[in-house]
Amino acid sequence: MGRSLDQWGDRTLPRQRKMPNATQLTSFLGFLPRTEVFMVSTTEKLIHYPMVIGEELVSSGSQDLIDPATGEVFATAAMGTTADVDRAVAAAKAAQPGWAALSYGERCAAMMKFADLLEAKSEELSHLESKNAGKALKLTINGDIPFSVDNIRYFASVVRRQEGAAAGEYVGGYTSLLRREPIGVVGAITPWNYPLMMAVWKIAPAIAAGNAIVLKPAPNTPTTTIEMAKIALEAGLPAGLINIVTGGVEVGEAICTHPDIGMISFTGSTRTGKRIAELASPMIKRVTLELGGKAPFVVFEDADIEAAAHGAVVGAYVNSGQDCTAATRMYVHESVFDAFLARFTELSKQVKVGDPFAEGTDIGPLSSQAQLNKVKGYVEEAKQQGLQVITCGDVPDKGFYFPPTIIVDPPQTANCVCEEIFGPVAVVKRFSTEEEAIALANDTPYGLAASCWTLNVQRAMRMAKALQAGTVWINDHLPIASEMPHGGFKQSGFGKDMSHYALEEYTIVKHVVFDITGDQRKGWHFTTFGEA
């Protein structure tokens, strides 16, 4: 998943805030009412996060939530069942017709109020996102949360000016016009790497188009998604419009197969995406999938090497590398390979890995012990194969941390080149010609994102065309915007998030035809009955 250009622009960024102390953090984590508090000891309590179904806060089962920075339990969350999915779908079905009946202006105003209230609580949400997902606070407070607010505002506004063919007489004697109708109830499943932002990417276009939604967040990072649904109710959005059902595979499969859900929108691994498509296909559900990535980062001999090295550090290590658009395969022209590698390594060693709330932290821990084990496995395999592995710095002993790591000139067939590692690990390989660079960059089953670094405008245009990816950056890597589409080629999925293209994903086009002649027998009727 991606980030917004606004993280580094001036449109939605809050000012940089001071890091919290322990007392402030405790206050932030309890900033909205909970249904229950579980006793751990005589002095310690765990906040419990319930599901949001209709207007009810539902605690069905319980699971521990782990702080990635410490490896310790910091809260609990409900664990839903198929029965909870049924309840959520029923609530969504009840809410959707009235919501869809609102004018575009009324829907827009309601969503704007929702966005305003989210923005008012952005600092608290930023801290909670960092606590649950292990993100550096400067990323959540200056990126994830403000971009989420911007995304809601964008869809609130764009629904008021939808695109399509003009009404007119495409057949003589008839006027045609197009309508875009909501699908009804949408099911969504979101990942753990950008919990709130990915939920917004589903919710905002879905409700703007007139749908209601039942969303399952990742089991280990549900907190901000739950809080967002509570804020939606507080903002006055109809109960049942946004329903959050937490849980595991049982809940996800129930959403995919529920007969009253007309569309599934999923962001996550390609493997899971294939399973979702399989589950949805018997009922011919609409499906959008934003899946894995293995983005190439191509540096030509005429590139600004300093700019490319800085872009590589940010592109490779954003969100601790847990980003499907991350720059993971760096192909560098042989004439500048050594210079680029030296500068990239030097900058990588300056990346500060540590407590997400500590002053100066650049990247925090990985999301879970399982993810840490996976990343370690790829790097250990590279070492066992005799590849040069550059480890850039130390990490804390406690928590799921992993240092920025560079693997130098592995074979194109190596697992570290072919498979999505999803950690702060980059491979750097050399090439000699533009044709070779294109072949190497496209030699992957994925096609979500890519970047090209060159000062030659003709080459940049050629590469933009040749690279098989849904987003191609020239002389940068990562920026996205609510107004522009995000989605992939090949096994990176299909369908679009963001932009008016996403709004179209959540609607069904209807062709309406008016007779404008008033004739009882039309001129063409003879083709089936009678004579001309």
Residues forming the active site: 290, 324
Give 214's strand partners. Answer: 187, 243
99, 212 contact by CB (below 8 A): yes
Q: Distance between CA atoms of 217 and 71, rounded to whole angstroms? A: 20
SS3 of 287-309:
EEEECCCCEEEEECCCCCHHHHH
What are 293's two structure tokens? Answer: 């990535």
243, 54 contact by CB (below 8 A): yes
CA angle 24/30/34 to nearest 5° reads 175
Phi then psi for 392, rounded to 5 degrees? Answer: -105, 80
126, 227 contact by CB (below 8 A): no
CA atoms within 13 A on the CB side of 457: 0
What are 53's two structure tokens? Answer: 């179904």
Q: Is 307 exposed, middle or buried (0-12, 13-18, 19+ CB in 10 A)?
A: middle
The three-state secondary structure class of 191 is coil
Residue type, 393: G
Gyration radius of the chain's alpha carbons = 25
> What letter would DSSP give residue 220?
T
What are 107's two structure tokens? Answer: 């829907």
> What letter would DSSP give residue 140?
I
Q: Distance between CA atoms of 437 and 466, rounded to whole angstroms? A: 10
The three-state secondary structure class of 168 is strand
Q: Is 478 exposed, middle or buried (0-12, 13-18, 19+ CB in 10 A)?
A: buried
What are 423's two structure tokens? Answer: 């950690």
Distances in Å between the alpha carbon of 290 and those of 110, 139, 177, 276, 493?
A: 28, 22, 32, 12, 5
Q: Distance between CA atoms of 86 and 83, rounded to whole angstroms? A: 5
Q: Is 94 exposed, middle or buried (0-12, 13-18, 19+ CB in 10 A)?
A: middle
Instruction: Find, among 417, 461, 423, the residue nearest to 443 by Cα.
Output: 417
51, 244 contact by CB (below 8 A): yes
363, 353 contact by CB (below 8 A): yes
What are 253's two structure tokens? Answer: 């499969």
